[in-house]
Amino acid sequence: MAEIIFHHYPASPFSEKVRVAFGIKGLAWRSVEIPNMMPKPDLMPLTGGYRKTPVMQIGADVFCDTQVILREIERLHPKPALGPDYALAFWSDKPFFMSSVAVVFAEVGDMVPEAFRQDRAKMSGGTFSVDALKAAAPFARDQWRAHADFVEESLSAAFLSGEAPRAADIHAYMNFWWIKAAIPHIAPQLLEPLPKVRAWMERMAAFGHGKPQAMEAKDALDAAKAATSTAVPGAEAGTKVTVAADDYGRDPVAGEIVFANAHEIAIRRRDDQVGEVVVHFPRAGFTVLKA
Ligand SMILES: N[C@@H](CCC(=O)N[C@@H](CS)C(=O)NCC(=O)O)C(=O)O
């Protein structure tokens, strides 16, 4: 099997979900560091326009969004099982993450470069107003505290579902990890009323990230070009579509369906730098339009 190539950057909270999964499963992987804003010239040839972080590549198969990334890792490396807690990703990635975004950027929004603020405004189709974030901070902190307390209340064992870590732990952990990494001066205050969460965070951090080995972006493009997708065509194969996220970073990706099922759609596309690749997206949270 071709090696796992993971396109990410260290401060990315969604990437941390996958890095922890690599840690729990003890996997070796190649680490390609990508920019934290557009342009991403070495990523676009692989994804065809999808710009979010992270992206996982296995040969000529490219997985966009942690939903399909975690599903593919579980399929290829089923032990130890993380289980099917996918619904919890929606809680972690939307209301809990959005309150974390508001809490974090109310604190550090002034310090990030103007290019980053413009990038995030464009990606969300809105604005990035530090003044508005600061004004909303008390409300955002209440929201954050409520979501954080859901986890505190649920921790009656070492992990959320018992004595072994499951996907639920990974989803829940992302926002705590990010708060601690992005606003270390505020995190102790936010975590103070959450003793079970603090102990569980230490257990989660102890899994580490598996065995990463750095890789140049150009080498990842060459690896795609040298490989052939292993995706197996289904009944819908050949239909031309565009696929786009339905929340933010909605840049559409065009291609021909290889297969589509309840959870995943895989489309084939060509690019001079990578040849023919198959790009995989989740169904939940993505729109598919006939081209
Ligand atoms: N639904 C996506 C969300 C990914 C996401 O929002 N990632 C953030 C970084 S953690 C992002 O893409 N930010 C803009 C960027 O990195 O260019 C997933 O689960 O992978």
The class that CATH gives domain 86-206 is mainly alpha
Nearest CA to ligand 1 atom 6: 52
**Of all protein residues, whose CA lies closest to atom 8 belonging to ligand 1?**
53
pLDDT digit string, tens, across residues 104-162: 999 999 999 999 999 999 999 999 999 999 999 999 999 999 999 999 999 999 999 99
Counting from 1 in the atom list of ligand 1, the atom nearest the Cα of 12 is 10
Average pLDDT of the chain is 97
What tokens appear for 88 in the block?
């919890």
Q: Please determine whether the domains at 4-80+212-290 and 86-206 fall in the same fold group of CATH.
A: no
Per-residue CA distances from 153 to 93, 145, 169, 176 (Å): 19, 12, 13, 15
CA of 237 to the centre of ligand 1 (A): 28
Report the pLDDT value the prediction gives residue 14, as an integer from 0 to 100.
98
Atom of ligand 1 nearest to the CA of 34: 16
Quick one: CA torsion of 287, 284, 255, 13, rounded to 10 degrees? Answer: 110
- pLDDT tens for 70-80 read 999 999 999 99
| Domain 4-80+212-290 CATH class label | alpha beta
Question: What is the C-alpha separation between 44 and 38, in angstroms, rounded?
Answer: 10
Q: Indicate if the pLDDT at residue 1 is higher than 90.
A: no
Amino acid at the residue 114? E
How confident is the model over 7-14, as a mean pLDDT?
A: 98
Which residue's CA is minimally distant from atom 20 of ligand 1? Answer: 65
Confidence (pLDDT) at 231: 98
Cβ-based neighbours of 237, under 8 Å, separated by 6 or more? 256, 257, 258, 259
Kindly report the protein residue whose alpha carbon is nearest to atom 17 of ligand 1: 37
Per domain, the residue ranges of the chain are 4-80+212-290, 86-206
Burial (0-12, 13-18, 19+ Cβ within 10 Å), 46: buried
Sign of CA dihedral 105, 106, 108, 110: positive
Mutation test residue for ligand 1: of 43, 53, 248, the one with most atoms within 8 Å of CB = 53
Q: Which residues line ligand 1 (CB under 6 A)?
A: 12-14, 36-37, 51-53, 65-67, 93, 123, 249
Residues 6 or more apart whose CB falls under 8 angstroms from that of 18 comprise: 6, 8, 54, 56, 66, 69, 70, 73
Q: pLDDT at position 208, please? A: 98
What share of the chain in percent tops pLDDT 70? 100
Sheet holding 253-260: strands in order across? 211-214, 28-33, 4-8, 55-58, 61-64, 275-282, 264-271, 253-260, 240-245, 286-290
**Is pLDDT above 90 for 229?**
yes
What does the alpha-carbon distance between residue 192 and residue 249 come to, in Å, rounded to a whole number?
34
In sequence order, what are the residues at sequence separation of 6 or more whose Cβ sits closer than 8 angstroms to the Cβ of residue 214?
A: 30, 31, 33
- SS3 state of residue 200: helix
